[in-house]
């Protein structure tokens, strides 16, 4: 084989290698399995000088068992010593007079109070049950199981009106059926469609912590709601409630989950807030086997973080919850209409490119490919000149 042919083959190899190396390797769903950018929940346990040391020891031991592999952090506050702690403000909010007591703080600022002196239970048993309740429940276990094998989870919380519940379920089923038709257009192969889980209205009280993490309080359980949960228990976009639950809006949220990680989405969408969840080593091992790589690998997390840091500020902002918009099929500037909750702005053009690979001078991935191609080209020319000189 001549030197000329060798150089040409080397050049082609470098070109296709650069396409693979500089293209985005991850989807929103895959990045969602990492803990990058996650805000923790906080459990403050208030003690005083009269709290027995054995009780404090029990709290520390049990917290290591239940919370070490979760996104819930714990802090013990001695109200007689830590008077300057900002957490002491919660004492006044709940008028706490007996100790130990606990306050659970959500990342968005909401709180719940708990007593650790339950009638008929020992102190250790009360702490045990509280910690378990914070990071686990029957529906959260079902969500976690489905996240390891499905595209994502569409969680329906029923209201008190059976007819409204039936209508919402139909909208969710239609959106799921429609998103399945776009799987062949997505950046990566999808093995299973979104799973639909339903929490009946009479079970809502048992899942109060889960619902509060979704932003649903007791008064709002009279109307149905829909949440799209992906990755490591992250919530994509707003929780849809009442009249805002439509096939289009559900479909748009589902579409974002499968988008390319470098599609220009605002990072608040890429890194949706998490529900309080225990994610142990066995779960992580099962996930690594399913994905084919470990999202907790330092090199993988570093790469993901770098990709997110390079995401450009989106242009042409629009409301992805606009009922007349279908992500992946439309682009342009849409007038924003108020929806339930705060909705971040993302770029219609970037979403469109994620599914149809539209060429654009503003495409970050294309720029990176061209830069890599330029480097490889210079190297190839250098090799060619070197071989020519050897002749």
CB hemisphere CA count around 263 (13 angstroms)? 32
Contact 262, 365 (CB under 8 A): yes
Residue with tokens 């995401």: 311
Please name every residue paired with 78 in a beta bridge, in sequence order, or none if there are none.
47
Q: What is the CA radius of gyration of the chain?
A: 25
Residue 336 tokens read as 């924003």
Residue 377 tokens read as 């080209």
Omega prior to 180 cis, within 30 of 0: no
pLDDT > 70 in the chain, percent? 71
Contact 204, 221 (CB under 8 A): yes
Residue 334: predicted pLDDT: 31
Residue 342: predicted pLDDT: 42
Spatial separation of the C-alpha atoms in residues 98 and 76, rounded to whole Å = 15
Task: For the chain, list residues with pLDDT below 50.
Answer: 5, 7-9, 12-13, 15-23, 316-318, 323, 329-365
Residue 150: predicted pLDDT: 95
Contact 6, 37 (CB under 8 A): no
Contact 352, 315 (CB under 8 A): no
Please name every residue paired with 154 in a beta bridge, in sequence order, or none if there are none.
196, 228
The rounded Cα 370 to chain-centroid distance in angstroms is: 31
- Whole-prediction pTM: 0.76
Please name every residue paired with 197 in a beta bridge, in sequence order, or none if there are none.
155
Residue 305: predicted pLDDT: 82
> String of b and e for 237-263 (b: at least 16 CB within 10 Å)?
bbbbbeebbbbbbbbbbbbbbbbbbbb
Spatial separation of the C-alpha atoms in residues 152 and 146, rounded to whole Å = 7
Residue 314: predicted pLDDT: 53
């Amino acid at each position: 084989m001549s030197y000329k042919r060798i150089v040409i083959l080397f050049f082609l190899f470098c070109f296709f290698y650069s396409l693979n190396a500089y293209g985005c390797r991850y989807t929103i769903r895959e990045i969602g399995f990492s803990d990058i950018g996650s805000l923790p929940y906080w459990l403050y346990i208030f003690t005083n000088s009269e709290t027995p040391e054995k009780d404090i020891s029990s709290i520390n031991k049990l917290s290591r068992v239940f919370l070490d592999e979760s996104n819930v952090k714990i802090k013990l506050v001695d109200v007689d010593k830590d008077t300057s702690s900002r957490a002491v403000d919660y004492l006044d909010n709940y008028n706490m007079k007996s100790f130990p007591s606990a306050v659970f703080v959500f990342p968005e600022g909401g709180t719940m109070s708990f007593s650790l002196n339950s009638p008929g239970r020992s102190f250790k048993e009360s702490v045990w049950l509280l910690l378990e309740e914070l990071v686990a429940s029957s529906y959260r276990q079902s969500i976690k199981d489905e996240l390891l094998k499905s595209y994502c989870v569409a969680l329906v919380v029923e209201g008190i009106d059976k007819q409204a519940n039936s209508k919402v379920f139909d909208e969710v089923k239609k959106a799921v059926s429609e998103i399945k038709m776009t799987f062949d257009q997505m950046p990566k192969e999808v093995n299973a469609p979104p799973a639909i889980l339903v929490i009946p209205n009479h079970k809502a009280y048992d899942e109060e912590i889960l619902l509060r993490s979704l932003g649903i309080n007791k008064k709002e359980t009279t109307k149905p709601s829909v949440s799209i949960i992906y990755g490591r228990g992250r919530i994509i976009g707003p929780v849809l409630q009442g009249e805002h639950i439509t096939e289009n809006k559900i479909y748009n949220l589902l579409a974002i989950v499968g988008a390319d990680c470098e599609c220009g989405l605002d990072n608040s969408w890429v890194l949706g807030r998490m529900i309080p969840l225990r994610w142990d080593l066995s779960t992580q091992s099962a996930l690594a086997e399913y994905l084919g790589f470990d999202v907790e690998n330092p090199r993988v997390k570093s790469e993901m973080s770098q990709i997110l840091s390079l995401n450009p500020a989106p242009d042409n902002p629009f409301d992805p919850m606009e009922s007349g918009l279908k992500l992946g099929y439309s682009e342009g500037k849409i007038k924003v209409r108020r929806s339930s909750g705060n909705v971040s702005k993302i770029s219609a053009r970037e979403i469109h490119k994620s599914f149809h690979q539209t060429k654009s001078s503003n495409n970050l991935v294309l720029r990176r490919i061209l830069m890599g191609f330029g480097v490889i080209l210079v190297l190839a020319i250098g090799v060619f000149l070197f071989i020519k000189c050897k002749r």
